[in-house]
Amino acid sequence: MTNPLYMATGFAHFHGLAPDDDLPIDGGVGPRALSFTITGVSNTTPQTFDIVRELAEQQIRNVQAVFIDNSANANDLVLSNLEIPGMSVIARANKQAILPFYGTTFGNLKATTSNASVQNINVLFLNTPQPYAQW
């Protein structure tokens, strides 16, 4: 690798912000996660929700990745950031995934899926950068 950060540290680097103000050495509690359960979402009834209060209360300071447990859904789930046009991630049908997600500090989100209504999709927002993984 020719990345200067890799050359200096020996660690692979990808774009993202390390939550340095949340590190224990700075008086923080380290990386954080915020969990939600999405219920009753479908193509005719998308669920719009926000994490603005959680961001304001500093339960989490930003969102850089999201874990979605879509294993009980026979359809893809689309999670969109309403503040940034085109910023969406897709959790494939009957899969679980960790997806890079640029949520910054806006917090207005929408979840949609096609066809049937789906109950109880667990979502975990993370303030640390994560690489894409799906299983």
- Residue 31: phi and psi, rounded to 5, are -55, 145
Contact (CB, 8 A) for 76 and 99:
no
Q: What is the pLDDT of residue 116?
A: 64
CATH code (residue 70): 2.60.120
Reported as a single tens digit per residue, the pLDDT across 76-92 is 888 888 777 778 889 99
In the block, residue with structure tokens 């049908």: 93
**53 falls within a domain:** yes
Structural domains of the chain, count: 1
The DSSP secondary-structure symbol of 22 reads G
Reported as a single tens digit per residue, the pLDDT across 14-25 is 455 555 555 555
**23 falls within a domain:** no
Average pLDDT over residues 111-131: 80
With the CA atoms of 135, 102, 41 and 36 taken in that order, what torsion angle do they form, in degrees rounded to the nearest 10?
A: 80
Give the pTM.
0.75
